[in-house]
Amino acid sequence: MLLALPCLAIGGVTAARPADAADEAPLPIPHVSIMSPWRPPPPRHFTLPDGRVVEVIERQPVATIGGQAVSRGFAPYQAEIYSPFTGYSAEERKGRQQWELAHRCGGSLIAPGWVLTAAHCINDERIANHYRVRLGANDLSTGEGVTYLIDRYVRHADYDEDRHLNDIALVHLSADSATRPDPKAQIEPVRLFGAQRDDPILLDNARFQPKLENPFLGFIRTRTLMIAGRPVAEEQTYQALGWGNTIPRSDESYSTVLTEVNLDLVDNRQCGRAPGYAGSITRRALCAARPGADTCTGDSGGPLVVRYVRSTADGSWDDRQIEQIGIVSWGKGCAEAKSPGVYMRVSAYLDWIRRAMAAPPTVTALR
């Protein structure tokens, strides 16, 4: 999966404020979000296929450090958000491949036609520039997978770019002339943590209460279940995925193949005390870290998942049960000591996700 990288941060947090009492209250899982360190270069102008000339200020995406590459089909819900623009000059390319120039963010397929991502990954300009989503891909350099046009989006109306609050969005997919089948592509939605069995839109999943150990070393929780009258051990591990940077402080080290990184959840109160984090770690956020591992530029919008690993009756292990608990949002640097990655806590936005999916096509912001 993703190489463990230091969390991306945008130079620190502004307008810091004391944490509310509600922010200090314990939650089933701490929130984690990681945002890309966006350093906008000068505006560029180019002509779209329909003749329109647009000015685009591209921001740098986010990726993982300290992780490992995964095989195709490992995360069938993983999505890539990318730019279809191909008219880069030789100077703009500077030895970089088209897939590197095109990559922007990650995301996760949560329902037919809907990809969950970070609010900072999508806006009106990107819709006007015909940004697309790629599903079922592992190696971006091969052009594999199935691509769709993003025809609309819904961002949280209270998204705060300075404090990184409510960094969540949904993009809607539309098949067009560039959408071609890939018989090898494995595509299926991910379960969202906290959704109920009778939920008409979201997939169901179980609830669990993690046990927090050292806030900066993390933990793996093990419990014993009874299945068919037999004791079965279950472990919960936390993983982030993406094609982002694999080398800290580098904007040109995107991974061509999908990578995953194992992380440990960090208590929200401890996370909020980290330098530059005050006022940004609320009940709707989750923090995660592990020495030498992190998400980074290019990983933004991608999923943080919990993987349930169970021992089966025959003595083998089943690790196919997965639920998404977070959305990569932001962090201070990548894999820096005592600077956890921050993720949007999916369970805190389930109602928002339902309403956003049901909103009229003209709605682009929803509270």
Flag whether pLDDT at 357 surpasses 90. yes
Average pLDDT of the segment spanning 276-291: 93
Lowest average pLDDT, out of 93-102, 164-173, 199-208, 273-282, goes to 199-208
At 121-148, the pLDDT tens digits run 999 999 999 999 999 999 999 999 999 9
Fold of the CATH domain 21-366:
Thrombin, subunit H (2.40.10)
Please name the helix (run of DSSP H) or strand (run of DSSP E) that holds residue 262, with its range, or none: strand 259-266
pLDDT band at residue 337 using 50, 70 and 90 as cut-offs: confident
Domain-wise residue ranges, the chain: 21-366
Q: Kindly tell me if the per-residue pLDDT of 274 is higher than 70.
A: yes
Q: What is the mean pLDDT of residues 28-42?
A: 30
Instruction: Spell out the residues 6+ positions from residue 143 whose beta carbon is closer than 8 angstroms to its own.
Output: 99
Containing H/E element for 90? helix 90-93
Span 177-203, pLDDT tens digits: 999 999 999 999 999 998 765 554 443
pLDDT value at 63 more than 70: no
Is 80 exceeded by the pLDDT of residue 101? Answer: yes
**In the predicted model, what is the mean pLDDT of residues 18-38?**
30
* DSSP-derived 3-state class of residue 174: strand
Region 36-41: mean pLDDT is: 28
Residue partners of 124: CB distance under 8 A and separation at least 6 = 364
Has residue 234 got a pLDDT over 90?
A: no
The model carries a pTM of 0.76
Taking the C-alpha atoms of residue 172 and residue 156, their distance in angstroms, rounded to an integer, is 15
| Residue 345 or 203, more confident | 345
